[in-house]
Structure 1
Amino acid sequence: MVFVGACSYGILSTIVKLAYWDGYAIEVIAVMQALIGFCCLWIFSLFTKTTTNKVLPLQGKSKWLVIVSGGCIGLTSYVYYLSVKYIPASVAIICLMQFTWMSVLLEWCLFKKRPSQQQLGIITIILLATYLASGLQDSTNIHWKGLSLATLSALMYAGYVVLNARLPQTGGTSITRSMYAMLGSVITLSIITFPGLIAAQCWNLQLFRWVILLAFFGTIIPPLLFAGGIPKIGAGKSAVIMTAELPVAIISACVILHEPIASLQWWGVGLLLASIVYMKTR
């Protein structure tokens, strides 16, 4: 379940790229994905109420904190989708995976949790692997605006991970918490992208082909599978299995989008994946 959920996340960048090629604006895609995801999770929450009587409801401050955290993850997705407009999907996912070491440094800066020498060594290897995997050796083919946006999305995601780990985790089922987080995404994205939503000329039935796919693989399936799978195998093993998102994203970009991946980049991907797995197991 955890593996399939991670693979679902892995194909999002490819779907977004296809939607771009079909002429749809990022503002419309991001907001509609979050809205459909929220509606589906709300329906699921109605059916789970009768079977979760032992779980305390999500109330007051905790509910608002979850909504705010959802706004943060919504912004992360929006910036990540923007980056895919300028750079290959395979490069965008490599940049996004930098959140693994950024979160370590953020904990150091915000909470004085100094990383060990071993962690710093792994971060150095991750940066080297990223350089190889992204194809930065041939910088003429890399759009620096897209690279900057993808790196910003990684930093925002790292901030979300660090802060969310310190939020109170009591009250509400996993589905309920996911629903309120998605509500935060809908509100935040609607405010941020409002001018673009008004100006968009791509409101048609074909739009739902893309946003339903994005909502299904990005905001519906992963939370449900993670809620069922992670408690059975634990957070440590889950964190390792969830790195499957990286190779799946690159393979789908290569097979579906026909993005060229050089042999040196594959070596970089392998080194990056091994480094992330080692960091998470430690």
Structure 2
Amino acid sequence: MKSSFLILAGACSYGLLSTFVKNAFASGLHVGDVVGSQALFGVMILWLLVAVFVKSAKPSEPRRTLNVSVRQAIKLMAVGTTTGMTSMFYYAALQYISASFAIILLFQFTWIGIVFEAVAERKLPGKAKLYSLVLLVAGILMASGYVGRGHGSVSLSWNGLVLGLLSAITYALFIWFSGRTATQVAPITRSAFMLTGSFLLIMLVFPPHFLINGALQHSLLAWGLLLALFGTVIPPLCYASGVPRIGGGLATILSAAELPTAVMMSYLALNESVTAMQWGGVIITIAGIALPEMIKRGWTRTENG
């Protein structure tokens, strides 16, 4: 149960990002500045946390915290590039399509992750996951606000469509590989190396011009720190600790908590109109998230009874 809560906490942290990014773009910031500052501040915070862990640990603990081989470090950084790609693809997609349609595309990771697991393990998903996916698809479409709107109210472009789908694929890849790569390494260290890989990729794509163009003095410092904390520090720590214990399939389903969080934040923080259908979608999504755990607990009680 603790591992499930960790995944939910990471997903909810991701759900806050759309509100922060929307405000950052509204203040005139460029996607490269936003993604780059998030990665820079995030990697600095995580390695600072690693140093604090090492310094405050008992004499036998530092070796365990930093016990990672060169091969493991390279693998973790490679996995981390998927989080960098997710941020770049999703934030870029928001420049071409509406936020409601972008979130629909991003949340295709729910079934993509289940497909990854089914192909890798060469078996069909269990009934609990299939039932959950049905609820998730229905809830995601309703909560996004896309269902019921006229086609003319949704801005579509091939660029946005492709970028949104790519963000879903890379997000599913991150969840899948984060539970299978160097799991014996301490979670804080795993997260730091993964984020380092993400940071290096983002710096290659978006050189850090924000360090010299005055954006930090404008409003980028505040938004960059918020995005780093809730987008690149808290979620990787939660996933690095939780995914190896519960598996990529269930983690994918639990990660759908990001959507209701994003909808509620848009209503509370941005004062955006949220229809009854969207609230219904939030409720259905939460039901889809909870279903596998409820069925699992029911079966456990039956077997023990």
TM-score interval, normalised by the smaller of the two chains: 0.7 to 0.9
Q: Does 1:82 align with 2:92?
A: yes
Q: Which amino acid aligns with 2:172?
A: A
Relative to structure 1, the CA distance from residue 94 to residue 59 in structure 2 (aligned partners, 3 Å threshold; closer, same or farther) is: same
Q: Secondary structure at the match of 2:184?
A: coil
In structure 2, what is the Cα distance between the partners aligned to 1:85 and 1:279?
35
Percent of counterpart pairs with the same letter?
A: 32
CA displacement 1:8-34 (0-9 Å, x = unmatched):
322111100111111111112111111
AA partner of residue 89 (structure 2): V
CA 1:148–1:227 in 2, change beyond 3 Å: closer, same or farther?
closer
* Contact 2:143–2:260 (Cα < 8 Å) also in 1: no
Partner of 2:12: 7
Change (3 A) 1:88 1:255: farther
Tell me, yes or no, if structure 1 residue 205 matches structure 2 residue 244. no
**1:191 CA displacement:** 1.5
Between 95-104 and 205-214, the greater mean CA deviation after superposition = 95-104
Could you tell me which runs of 5 or more consecutive residues in structure 1 were left unpaired when the two chains were aligned.
none
Aligned CA distance change for structure 1 residues 72 and 193 (closer, same or farther; 3 Å)? same
> 1:68 offset after TM fit, Å?
0.5
> Which deviates more from structure 2 when the two are superposed, residues 109-118 or residues 54-63?
109-118
Name the CA shift for 1:148/1:202 in 2 (closer, same or farther; >3 Å): farther
Question: C-alpha root-mean-square deviation of aligned residues, in Å?
Answer: 3.2
**2:154 equivalent in structure 1:** 142
How many correspondences in the alignment? 275
Quick check: 1:104 aligned with 2:118?
no
Q: Which amino acid aligns with 1:140?
A: G
Distance 1:161 1:142, change over 3 A: same
Distance in 1 (alpha carbons) for counterparts of 2:127 and 2:239: 32
TM-score normalised by length of structure 1 = 0.82
Alignment correspondent of 1:39: 44
Q: In the alignment, which of 138, 155, 177 is matched to residue 128 of structure 1?
A: 138
8 Å CA contact 1:94–1:133 kept in 2: the answer is no
Q: Distance in 1 between matches of 2:255 and 2:117?
A: 21
Quote how far apart the aligned CAs of 1:223 are: 4.5
1:168: how far off?
3.0
TM-score, with length taken from structure 2: 0.77
| 1:1-282 equivalence runs, <5 A | 2=6, 5-50=10-55, 51=57, 52-53=61-62, 55=64, 57-89=67-99, 92-116=102-126, 119-134=129-144, 135-138=146-149, 139-145=151-157, 146=160, 148-171=162-185, 173-194=186-207, 197=209, 203-206=215-218, 207-223=220-236, 235=246, 239=251, 244-279=257-292, 282=296
TM-fit CA distance, 1:120: 3.6
Matched residues in 2 for 1:159 and 1:280: separation? 23
1:107 aligned partner, one-letter code: E
Q: Which AA in structure 1 matches 2:275?
A: A
- Alpha-carbon distance in 1 for matches of 2:70, 2:79: 15
Deviations 1:176-226 (A, max 9, x none): 1111111101111112234x959x966341221211111122223445567
Q: Which runs of 5+ in 2 are unaligned?
A: 297-305
Contact persistence 2:98–2:155 (CA under 8 A): no
Q: What is the alpha-carbon distance in structure 2 between the residues aligned to residue 188 and residue 269 of structure 1?
A: 34
**Distance in 1 separating the partners of 2:107 and 2:223:** 24
Question: Are the structure 2 counterparts of residues 225 and 125 from structure 1 closer, same or farther at C-alpha, using a change threshold of 3 Å?
Answer: closer
Q: Tell me how far apart the structure 1 counterparts of residues 110 and 96 of structure 2 sit (CA, whole Å).
A: 23
